[in-house]
Amino acid sequence: MGALWTKAVVMDCGKVLASGAIRSSMKPAGPVGELVAALSGKAGVISGSAKLSATGVGRKNMAGAAQLTDIMAFSKGARFIHPATRIVVDLGGQGVRLMELDQDGMMSNFTTNDKCSTGTGCFLDIMAAALGVDPAHMGIASQAAKEPAVINTSCTVFAESEVVTLVAKKRPKEEIIAGLNGMVAKRVVAMINSASTKGDIMLAGGVAMNVGVVAAVEKELKRKVIIPLEPNMVGAIGAAVSAGGAK
C-alpha cells in the first residue's frame, strides 16, 4: 500500500496467480478489499481463505494482515524474482530505498532517501504536470531527445521552475524529460556506488517502469541492471512470499 499506488498479488506454491493495482486513497480499506477479492476470484482462490501480508505506508489499514516493512518486502520480492540479486533499489512514490543482500538473500544493509523527493514517483509526476505530459510517457518521450537538457538543481520546487523556464525558451519537451530522467539516474547511481556489496542490481518500484531512467542508470553504471517484468509489484510479491505464497 504505497503513497501513490496500492498493489496486490495472489501467490500459491511459488507462482503468481494474479496481480493488480489501484490508486492509493485516503480511505484505502474498501477499495483494497475489493481489489483483493477480485484478484482472488481471478486466481480461483476462495475470498477470505488466503493468508494476508501487507507492506507500504498504508499497511496498517489492511485488517487481518501480517505487517511487513517495505525494506523486508522488497528484499524478499527481489530474492524471489532473481535469486542472484545483491542490490535492490526501490524507486517509490515518496522515497528511494537501497537494500544490500548477502549470498543467502538476507539483507545485510540498507540506505534510504526519504527526505528528498528527487528520484521518486512524486517528483516525476510533478515534472510531468509542469510539462503537460502523461507521467507514463516520460520514459518513451526521452528516447527521442537529441541532447538532454541540463537541470541544475535536484530540488523539486527549483527544478519545476527550471522546467517552466526551458519550456518558455522553446526547448523540446523530450530533451527536458531526458534531462530530468538523467538527473534521477545520477541520484540512484550515487546510492548504488556507495554500497559495499557488489553483484546483480535490480531496480524496482514504479519509477523502474520509466525506460528513460533505466537507460540513464545503465549508461552511468556502464552495465545492465535487472528489471522485473512488473517492477511495481516487487514489494507486493515480497509480502506474498512472507505470507507463505512461496512454499
- Residue keyed to cell 475489493: 34
The lowest-confidence range among 159-163, 191-195, 239-243 is 159-163
| Mean pLDDT confidence for 18-22 | 94
Span 188-210, pLDDT tens digits? 999 999 999 999 999 999 999 99
d(CA 73, CA 79): 10
Residue 114 has pLDDT above 70, yes or no: no
**CB distance 214 to 189 below 8 Å:** no
Mean pLDDT of 108-125: 78
**Cβ atoms 73, 239 nearer than 8 A:** yes
Res. 226: pLDDT tops 90: yes
Specify the pTM: 0.89
The grid cell for 3 is 503513497
Asked if 204 contacts 159 with a C-beta cutoff of 8 angstroms, the reply is no
Give me the sign of the Cα torsion angle 173, 116, 111, 206. Answer: negative
Helix (H) or strand (E) holding 41: helix 29-43
pLDDT tier, 116 (very low <50, low <70, confident <90, very high otherwise): low
Who contacts 168 (Cβ-Cβ below 8 Å, separation ≥6)?
A: none
β partners of residue 98: 89, 111
Contact by Cβ (8 Å): 85, 101: yes
Write down the architecture of domain 83-227 according to CATH.
2-Layer Sandwich (3.30)
Pairing of strands 96-101, 85-91: antiparallel
**Residue 158: pLDDT above 80?**
no
Question: Which of 137-140's residues contact partners 24+ apart within 8 Å by CB, and which partners?
Answer: 138/177, 138/180, 138/181, 138/210, 138/212, 139/181, 139/209, 139/210, 139/211, 139/212, 139/213, 139/214, 140/211, 140/212
Percent of the chain exceeding pLDDT 90 equals: 54
On the 0-12 / 13-18 / 19+ scale of CB atoms within 10 A, 137 is middle
What is the rounded average pLDDT for all residues in the chain?
Answer: 89
In contact, 100 and 196? CB cutoff 8 Å: yes
* Domain ranges for the chain: 83-227
SS3 214: helix
pLDDT value at residue 117: 64
pLDDT per residue as tens digits for the range 50-94: 888 999 888 888 888 899 999 999 999 999 999 999 999 999 888
Spatial CA neighbour of 238 closest among 31, 90, 62, 84 = 90
